[in-house]
């Protein structure tokens, strides 16, 4: 099995966890208020038509096609990079997380027309925009890419 296909497996795990968590939240919280988990964290059910952290969520609808196009183009580019950079463990791990997150949110946009967000962190009344596991995977993958870049510069 080619190396890049193993990394696709990690992306599939991210997609599966993301979609399963969203299905559970929609099932559990539809028509209900959020659940207070800790003084700084709630589980909520929000529908986001924008990008990560609600960016452009009030843009009027055109952004759905834009973000779908970006997700598809980015996914194809990431698969290309995974094939090209065989053997680069941290780089491939990071790309796999980004790919899984991008496809996880793309599935929502195709299936229901928006993204399900449910993780709500806050400090008193100041709430960080709600997000989901796909957004977390994209963020983690980006941090790992930065660390990989720093590590490569030091060599």
Contact yes or no for 118/29 (Cβ under 8 A): yes
Of 67 and 137, more confident:
137
Of 49 and 102, more confident:
102
pLDDT of residue 25: 97
pLDDT of residue 154: 82
Average pLDDT value for residue range 111-135: 93
pTM: 0.88
H or E element, residue 45: strand 41-48
* Angstrom distance (rounded) from CA 136 to CA 4: 22
> How many Cβ atoms from other residues are within 10 Å of residue 31's Cβ?
5
Q: pLDDT (tens digit, 9 = 90+) per residue, 14-60? A: 999 999 999 999 999 998 999 999 999 999 999 987 666 556 666 56
Mean pLDDT of the chain: 90
Instruction: Please identify every residue annotated as catalytic.
Output: 117, 135
* Angstrom distance (rounded) from CA 103 to CA 18: 10
Contact yes or no for 107/15 (Cβ under 8 A): yes
pLDDT of residue 86: 84
Q: Where are the domains of the chain?
A: 3-154
């Amino acid at each position: 099995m080619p190396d890049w296909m193993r990394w696709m497996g990690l992306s599939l795990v991210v997609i599966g966890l993301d979609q399963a968590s969203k299905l559970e939240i929609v099932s559990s919280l539809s028509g209900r208020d959020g659940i207070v988990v800790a003084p700084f964290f709630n589980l909520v059910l929000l529908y986001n038509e924008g990008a990560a952290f609600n960016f452009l969520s009030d843009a009027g609808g055109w952004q759905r096609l834009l973000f779908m196009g970006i997700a598809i183009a980015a996914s194809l580019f990431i698969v290309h990079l995974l094939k090209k950079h065989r053997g680069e463990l941290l780089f491939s791990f990071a790309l796999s997380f980004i790919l899984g997150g991008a496809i996880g949110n793309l599935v929502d946009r195709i299936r229901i027309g928006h993204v399900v967000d449910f993780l709500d962190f806050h400090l008193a009344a100041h709430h960080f925009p709600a997000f989901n596991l796909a957004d977390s995977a994209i963020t983690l993958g980006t941090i790992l890419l930065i660390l990989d870049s720093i590590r490569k510069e030091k060599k």
